[in-house]
A and B are shown apart, each in its own frame.
Chain A
Amino acid sequence: MPDPDKHNLDRLGERLQAAKAKQQPKPHQVASSALAQGTRHAFGIAATTLVGGGIGWMLDRWLQTGPWLFLLFLLLGIAAGFWDLLKAVDREAKALQQRRNEQDNEG
């Protein structure tokens, strides 16, 4: 009977499309996921800068060492933010590479 077969084939086609879409997200999905993660890290850089600056400023007041400790910890805070970003991008690139290896092994 053609009808149930066609129905099953159509369902299979839809499931294949969905699986392919998960493997290869469309450009606007890539952009919005990059936007979400990027905002989190941009905000993270600003936050670590503030925390570093705060620590440096309090240490300065306690040790009376002029503005030098403040500047040092401010720079450390900025570096910490960028470090977090680099680690996250590294993780993302590794996950991407793993997915690509899986795809190559399957196909």
Chain B
Amino acid sequence: MANPLEQFAIERYAELSVGGADAAFTNASLFMLLILGITLFFFWLGSRNPQLVPGRWQAALEGMAGFAVDIVDENIGPKGRPWVPFIFSLFIFILVANVVGLFPYSFTVTSHIVVTFAFAALVFLICVLIGIAHHGLRFFTLFVPPNTPIALMPIIVPIELISFLARPLTLSVRLFANMTAGHILLKVFAGFVISLAAAGGIWAATSVVPFAMTVAFYGLELIVAVVQAYVFALLTAIYLNDSINLH
């Protein structure tokens, strides 16, 4: 049976090095450029002839932008308006990356912990830096919930600190684990179809069962792809809210 893990292999297409660090052009880079191209293409379609009463592409684009504005408004409030492009870009990139990975023979960019950790580290750094920029050193009062008796502080502050530091970990591992597990399962089911069909005779007839399961699982994976992008954007907005509006 084919190896379900070789879909995650990185192939280098061109060697490049940036200041001594390895920045080779890989299939991951190629697919990221493809995601960028697809996104720009759909945005171009949606904003070609802007009308007051939107056509279909424009309405779809406006719907998605409204979705991102809703996430920011509900979670950060009025101070969050400058962050709408950031949340929107994160949401769209991860959504398109997850959905592009569902096509046969393609590569899921977000199924590598490096990529998801890069996003999560970016969000975490931005939260800390923006918190310090907005509130100075009072940002660290985030770890002291209001109405805490002084006696409990030596326990509560390390606890809050640890749960704050766990955020980039959960953010990155959630997306990575969902994508990787889903894709491995898809390949395993698909491999069953081929193995059963190749066995010939009565086994070939039973290969319809894993085929039906693969189809059903694809539907689930599509839902997971969209939900994981939404959860990433929503949690980013929540963490930004913690930094901007301290409590």
Pick the contact of A80 from B162, B169, B173 — CB < 8 Å? B162
With a CB–CB cut-off of 8 A, which chain A residues contact B155?
76, 79
- Are B158 and A76 touching (Cβ within 8 A)? yes
- Are B162 and A48 touching (Cβ within 8 A)? yes
Query: Known contacts being A80-B163, A81-B163, A84-B163, is A51 close to B158, with CB within 8 Å?
Result: no
Q: Name the distance in Å between A94's Cβ and chain B's nearest Cβ.
A: 15
- Are A47 and B173 touching (Cβ within 8 A)? yes
- Are A80 and B160 touching (Cβ within 8 A)? yes
Residue B170 at the chain A interface, CB threshold 8 Å: yes
Q: Ordered nearest first, which 7 A-B pairs have the shortest CB separation?
A: A80-B163, A80-B162, A48-B166, A51-B166, A80-B159, A47-B170, A47-B166
Q: Interface residues of A, CB < 8 Å — how many?
A: 16
What CA separation (Å) do A80 and B165 show in the bound complex?
A: 11
With a CB–CB cut-off of 8 A, which chain A residues contact B158?
73, 76
Residue B174 at the chain A interface, CB threshold 8 Å: yes
- Are B166 and A44 touching (Cβ within 8 A)? yes
Within 8 A of B (CB), among A47-66: 47-48, 50-52, 55
Give the dominant DSSP class at A's interface.
helix
What CA separation (Å) do A80 and B155 show in the bound complex?
A: 10
Q: Name the distance in Å between B166's Cβ and chain A's nearest Cβ.
A: 4
What CA separation (Å) do A82 and B173 show in the bound complex?
A: 19
Pick the contact of A77 from B162, B170, B173, B174 — CB < 8 Å? B162
Residues of chain A at the chain B interface (Cβ within 8 Å): 43-44, 47-48, 50-52, 55, 73, 76-77, 79-81, 83-84
- Are B159 and A76 touching (Cβ within 8 A)? yes
What CA separation (Å) do A73 and B158 show in the bound complex?
A: 9
Pick the contact of A44 from B159, B160, B170 — CB < 8 Å? B170
The residue of chain A having its C-beta at the shortest distance from the C-beta of B156 within the complex is A83
Pick the contact of A79 from B159, B173, B174 — CB < 8 Å? B159
Complex interface bits, B143-174 against A, C-beta within 8 A gives 1, otherwise 0 = 00000000000010011101101100110011
Query: Known contacts being A43-B174, A44-B170, is A51 close to B165, with CB within 8 Å?
Result: yes
Q: Name the distance in Å between A77's Cβ and chain B's nearest Cβ.
A: 5
What CA separation (Å) do A84 and B145 show in the bound complex?
A: 12
With a CB–CB cut-off of 8 A, which chain A residues contact B170?
43-44, 47
What CA separation (Å) do A50 and B168 show in the bound complex?
A: 12
What CA separation (Å) do A80 and B143 show in the bound complex?
A: 12
- Are A83 and B163 touching (Cβ within 8 A)? yes
Pick the contact of A83 from B159, B165, B173, B174 — CB < 8 Å? B159
